[in-house]
Amino acid sequence: MVKKIGVLTGGGDCPGLNAVIRGVVKTAMVKYGYEVIGYKDGYRGLVMNDFIKLKLEDVTGILDKGGTILGTSNRDNPFEFRVVKDGNIEYKDMSERVINNMDMFGIDCLVLIGGDGTLTSARDFARKGLKVVGVPKTIDNDLSATDVTFGFMTAVETATEAIDKLHSTAESHHRVMILEVMGRYAGWIAIESGIAGGADIILIPEIPYDINKVAQKILERKNSGKSFSIVVVAEGAKSVDGELVVSKVVKDSPDPIRLGGIGNKIAEDIEKLTGIETRVTVLGHLQRGGRPIPYDRILSTRYGVAAVELINAGNFGMMVGLQGNDIVGVPLEEAVGTLKTVPPDGELVRIAKSVGVGFGD
């Protein structure tokens, strides 16, 4: 018998996290009479026993709010938890401590909301016998076991609006405008916002680009009377003979590589090859912030409700996901470890090329 469940949000934030929390809390309390506690700042709260008891009034009015009322962290893997001992940094497996903490406070199971890193730890907890259910969250939409992750479509909306605004200033000044968006290893935001916003060139990690072909596309547009061009580039895009552009390395992070700067590199190359003035806009964390669009509010609510339904049915070690029009349960063992990337010969690339978009290939 489940009586008390815990919930946390891990990894980077994105629009829709609060809607998931709301879906979990309201379903658990109203439909099944469970108690719900929320762990603060991701897995750190789970390790440090830092939590609050969630009540219905705590989730009132948060459906449309960005961020997460619980806080989050992408540095606190409980299986390699950072501790400072005698002035030195060590990494310890704190998973048994987590299990003991849950036993101490009578927590029967966990809803873990996060991306590949958070859900990989969820899988590892499931292997240790902990009752867990995962909810997929990644702004890059690159989890393979679900068609869409919540927050992604809001990020696409934000990027598309930026492209719309860049069109008018690009045309006015006869410039090339580059928009750099998120997408470390998967170019979903770039390709979907690029198509929606009418970009002329889209550069994604899945299709290495030749800068000479990018420049050729821009010059062809100029020679045909088009005095400006819009380029959308994912932060993880790379040239046919180059590596990822790294902005910095954070040594004590589980994911130390910080990408950034590809937009500026391409702008410099374009100006050299074409002589056309080029400007760069980096959206960065604007894509993570703000109110979720209605699609993400609905999807997040569906995920939150489905997570509690899995708990009530005793189906643990699972992740909820969207497949077609249905919310389904997917074993965590199958849900993590494989990135969902843009197929270079898939429909989105084909339709973009059909309307004249260049990919630098």
Catalytic machinery residues: 140
The number of CA neighbours under 13 Å toward the Cβ of 233 is: 33
Q: What is the CB neighbour count within 10 angstroms for residue 334? A: 14
In 3D space, the residue among 289, 263, 259 whose CA is nearest the CA of residue 155 turns out to be 289
CA distance 310 to 317: 10
Residue bearing tokens 């934030």: 13
HEC assignment per residue over the chain: CCCEEEEEECCCCCCCHHHHHHHHHHHHHHHCCCEEEEECCCHHHHHHCCEEEECHHHHCCCCCCCCCCCCCCCCCCHHHEEEEECCEEEEECCHHHHHHHHHHCCCCEEEEEECHHHHHHHHHHHHCCCCEEEEECCCCCCECCCCCCCCHHHHHHHHHHHHHHHHHHHHHHCCEEEEEECCCCCCHHHHHHHHHHCCCEEECCCCCECHHHHHHHHHHHHHCCCCCEEEEEECCCCECCCCCCEEEECCCCCCCEEECCHHHHHHHHHHHHHCCCEEEEECHHHHCCCCCCHHHHHHHHHHHHHHHHHHHCCCCCEEEEEECCEEEEEEHHHHCCCECCCCCCCHHHHHHHHCCCECCC
Residue bearing tokens 């961020």: 67
The number of CA neighbours under 13 Å toward the Cβ of 216 is: 9
